[in-house]
């Protein structure tokens, strides 16, 4: 029957049908072999601290570095400067957004590479300029914004004019996660800093948010329109704080967590404020604290066996200091929430990233998650 139909067709019609069939077969084969779709957004810019630094501190005179073994033991690039055994949260988010590479650090990003985004994060950096100074060189939030402004000038030159650059940047995702060091390496370090004597926890949170908002407006004035603001995690549950301030090495330090919640509550409110103020922008809040709380409350549900100690480190809870050069880490890294005294393992980072990208509960992201932000 099919032979009869084809035999009765005109040659031109037969050729057209044959070409349609060939195209359909090629499309199916293309999907079969895994042809990658274009990323969901043209570029991804990252601002933050050691949780997402991917090498910007490598060339700085700083104690806050991770460009040595065992850092990167499970990362395909080895010890790149990432403070984890493997991927950071922004690495996983870049994958989820469809990028076929990780976002390069500002220290090495060059030429056309900047068009897919740049990572400006710096270990020990904070919202306040003095934060982390006892560790040496670092690039504060304001310094990261200044570096971004330099990148924008380069984007204008590449794309031809400011209008095209503004249109391009308006489609990109901006990931911002600072504040942890303003507590770890400032407020709760009275031997080095006076902030805890100057401000109550409520006042300090207010001051941080005021400075934070100023930098976010600076990003907005330079093209940023889709911004994801990450809250601070449960710092009082980190191996470092458990080692120093927990009587049993397991009970989280509530005075620190309470201060973190004050900051996070204000950051979530800042999202509403800026969404009302900057009407052509979309800002969202990522509830990192809440995800950590879930994991620590029921670790086995997430595949973790150890949540109160680092996979590598020194002293009680492996939390006195970070991993030593050449130190052998635990072999069962997937079962640990924390890689070292402060930073999650790749397994921990992956959970946070997945929940930030595609919220599993209404509390994960407000008012939407990164996936919907990318589509907006």
CB 53 within 8 A of CB 132: no
| 234 half-sphere exposure, CB direction, 13 A CA radius | 22
The DSSP code for 235 is G
User: How far, in Å, CA of 253 to CA of 296, rounded?
Assistant: 13
The catalytically annotated residue of 49, 50, 53, 84 is 50
User: How far, in Å, CA of 90 to CA of 349, rounded?
Assistant: 9
Whole-angstrom CA distances from 37 to 20, 90, 99, 101 are 22, 20, 9, 13
Whether 100 is catalytic? no
Whether 74 is catalytic? no
The catalytically annotated residue of 49, 53, 91, 340 is 340
User: How far, in Å, CA of 3 to CA of 367, rounded?
Assistant: 59
> Cβ-count burial of 222 within 10 angstroms (0-12 exposed, 13-18 middle, 19+ buried)?
middle
Helix (H) or strand (E) holding 346: helix 346-357
User: How far, in Å, CA of 99 to CA of 172, rounded?
Assistant: 12
Nearest to 316 by CA among 240, 255, 252, 256: 240
The catalytically annotated residue of 122, 182, 343, 364 is 343
Longest CA–CA span in the chain (Å) reads 92
User: How far, in Å, CA of 333 to CA of 338, rounded?
Assistant: 9
Beta strand extents in 18-120 (DSSP E only): 44-48
Whether 101 is catalytic? no
| 95 half-sphere exposure, CB direction, 13 A CA radius | 9
CB 227 within 8 A of CB 281: yes
The DSSP code for 231 is P
User: How far, in Å, CA of 43 to CA of 237, rounded?
Assistant: 34
User: How far, in Å, CA of 305 to CA of 370, rounded?
Assistant: 29
Which are the catalytic amino acids? 50, 340, 343
């Amino acid at each position: 029957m099919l032979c009869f139909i084809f035999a009765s067709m005109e040659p031109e019609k037969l050729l057209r049908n044959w070409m349609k069939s060939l195209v359909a077969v090629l499309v199916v084969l293309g999907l079969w072999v895994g042809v990658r779709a274009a990323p969901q957004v043209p570029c991804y810019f990252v601002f933050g601290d050691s949780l997402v630094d991917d090498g910007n501190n490598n060339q700085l005179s700083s104690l806050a570095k991770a460009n040595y073994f065992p850092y990167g033991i499970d990362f395909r690039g080895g010890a790149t400067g990432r403070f984890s055994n493997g991927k950071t949260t922004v690495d996983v988010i870049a994958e989820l957004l469809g990028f076929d590479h990780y976002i390069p650090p500002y220290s090495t990003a060059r030429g056309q590479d900047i068009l897919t985004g740049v990572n400006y994060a710096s270990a020990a950096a904070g919202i306040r300029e003095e934060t982390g100074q006892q560790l040496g060189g670092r690039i504060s939030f304001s310094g990261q914004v200044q570096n971004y402004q330099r990148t924008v000038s380069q984007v204008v030159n590449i794309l031809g004019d400011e209008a095209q650059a503004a249109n391009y940047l308006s489609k990109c995702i901006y990931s911002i996660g600072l504040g942890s060091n303003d507590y770890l390496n400032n407020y709760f370090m009275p031997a080095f800093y006076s902030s805890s004597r100057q401000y109550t926890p409520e006042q300090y949170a207010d001051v941080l948010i005021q400075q934070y908002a100023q930098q976010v407006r600076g990003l907005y004035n330079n093209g940023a329109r889709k911004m994801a603001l990450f809250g601070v995690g449960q710092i009082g549950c980190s191996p470092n704080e458990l080692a120093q301030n927990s009587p049993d090495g397991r009970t989280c330090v509530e005075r620190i967590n309470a201060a973190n919640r004050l900051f996070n509550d204000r950051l979530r409110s800042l999202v509403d404020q800026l969404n009302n103020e900057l009407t052509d922008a979309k800002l969202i809040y990522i509830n990192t604290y809440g995800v950590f709380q879930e994991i620590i409350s029921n670790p086995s549900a997430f595949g973790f066996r150890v949540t109160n100690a680092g996979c590598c480190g020194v002293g009680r809870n492996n939390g006195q200091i970070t991993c030593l050069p050449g130190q052998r880490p635990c072999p069962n890294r997937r079962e640990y929430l924390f890689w070292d005294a402060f930073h999650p393992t790749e397994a921990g980072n992956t959970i946070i990233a997945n929940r930030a990208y595609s919220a599993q509960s209404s509390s994960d992201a407000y008012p939407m998650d990164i996936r919907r932000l990318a589509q907006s």
